[in-house]
Amino acid sequence: MDPTVLILSYGSKTPLEIAEGILTEMDQPKTPINNEVSSHFYKCKIKTKYFNTSVNLIPFDGKWENVPTEITKTTEAVIVFFDANDMNFLHTFSDTFLSDCPLKLGFLLTTSFPCEENGISLSDLKKRTNFIFDFISLKSNSETETESTATSTSTPAQTEDQYQEIVDGLRNVVWSNVEISTKSGSLQKKSLSSEDLDTQLNDFENLLITAQSLRSDTRLTRDEFLDKAEELAGVMSNILNDNDSD
């Protein structure tokens, strides 16, 4: 079963709007699939240089406590829209929010970030969440409509960059169903023995596992996490460059 990207809303923008915005950004069809667990979901294909896979985008019309267990147990990413002026959201959102799912990625979205003086601040949210959450400010519906009206006489309204950071995040996660791509000629090199090939594949697999473990290590501060992630990216780049030069 493909991993779930659960989309919730505690504000004016609906989960469906966000799901369709992501698919638009990725130039993928917005074709809903019905099932018994959720009213519908969207298949989202993820293709990178290193792997091809797919995840299920589930725009859930309800709050976290009402999400069925069948969904939470497959949830590996959560996208939550909130109203920065609704202080009650701080009481709703906490680490217990994540206790039932093997989360690898999270985004908190709002349309008024950085928040106003009387609203929720970034520091308030950081106290309630762990480092895996990134904070993104989207354009409000009124801003989007204004831009659409302004450009309607010349070019179609564009949504670029609205969800690009989310798309980048989805592509950078090592999902549980990931399939690693190999270059077409790499398995046919006569100079590479079967034993050497197995060793390199095992090294690469261990590297991916290490990357995933790093993502889940809540003992690290965000700066420490980013430093280690940069080191890990350098190691991965060196391995791939060595393979390309063989």
Residue-level pLDDT at 48: 86
Last residue of a domain, one of 172, 202, 218: 172
Residue-level pLDDT at 185: 43
Q: In the structure, what pLDDT confidence band is assigned to residue 150 with cuts at 50, 70 and 90?
A: very low
* Interval 173-190 mean pLDDT: 62
Shared domain check, 20 and 97: yes
* Interval 180-186 mean pLDDT: 50
Structural domains counted in the chain:
2
pTM: 0.69
Residue-level pLDDT at 103: 81
Q: Is the peptide bond before 3 cis (omega within 30 degrees of 0)?
A: no
- Higher-confidence residue of 141 and 132: namely 132
Shared domain check, 120 and 195: no
Last residue of a domain, one of 172, 201, 219: 172
Q: What percent of the chain has pLDDT over 90?
A: 25
Q: In the structure, what pLDDT confidence band is assigned to residue 136 with cuts at 50, 70 and 90?
A: confident
Last residue of a domain, one of 172, 199, 216: 172
Q: How many CB atoms lie within 10 A of CB 35?
A: 11
Q: In the structure, what pLDDT confidence band is assigned to residue 40 with cuts at 50, 70 and 90?
A: confident
CA distance 125 to 133: 10
Residue-level pLDDT at 76: 92
Shared domain check, 54 and 168: yes
pLDDT tens-digit series, residues 73-93:
899 999 999 888 887 887 776
Which DSSP string corresponds to 126-159?
HHHS-TTEEEEEPPPHHHHHHHHHHHTTTS----
Shared domain check, 189 and 160: no
Name the least confident of 15-19, 49-53, 179-183, 238-242. 179-183
Shared domain check, 191 and 152: no
Shared domain check, 190 and 163: no
Where does residue 33 fall: left (phi above 0), alpha (psi -120 to 50 degrees), or beta otherwise? beta
* Alpha carbon separation from 227 to 33, 123, 205 (Å, rounded): 40, 21, 21
Answer whether residue 10 is part of any domain: yes
The residue range of the domain holding 58 is 4-172
Shared domain check, 120 and 15: yes
N- to C-terminal Cα separation, the chain = 36
Highest mean pLDDT among 139-148, 172-181, 232-241: 172-181
Q: With a cut of 50, say whether residue 208 has pLDDT above it.
A: yes
Is the Cβ–Cβ distance between 7 and 57 less than 8 Å?
Answer: yes
Shared domain check, 138 and 230: no
Answer whether residue 215 is part of any domain: yes
Answer whether residue 178 is part of any domain: no
Sequence-separated (6 or more) residues with CB below 8 Å from residue 107 = 77, 78, 79, 80, 133, 134, 135, 136, 165, 166, 169
Answer whether residue 177 is part of any domain: no
Shared domain check, 154 and 38: yes
Residue-level pLDDT at 215: 63
Is the Cβ–Cβ distance between 244 and 236 less than 8 Å?
Answer: no
- Average pLDDT in the chain: 74
* Interval 165-175 mean pLDDT: 90
Q: What percent of the chain has pLDDT over 70?
A: 57
Question: What tokens does 89 get?
Answer: 């959201």
**Residue 32 main-chain phi, psi, to 5 deg:** -70, 145
CATH of the domain at 160: 3.40.50
* Alpha carbon separation from 92 to 9, 60, 79, 87, 88 (Å, rounded): 12, 16, 15, 9, 7
Q: With a cut of 60, say whether residue 63 has pLDDT above it.
A: yes
* Interval 124-145 mean pLDDT: 67
- Higher-confidence residue of 64 and 230: namely 64
Q: How many CB atoms lie within 10 A of CB 182?
A: 13
Answer whether residue 57 is part of any domain: yes
* Alpha carbon separation from 148 to 73, 153, 159 (Å, rounded): 39, 9, 9
Answer whether residue 81 is part of any domain: yes
Shared domain check, 142 and 112: yes
Shared domain check, 101 and 49: yes
Shared domain check, 222 and 150: no
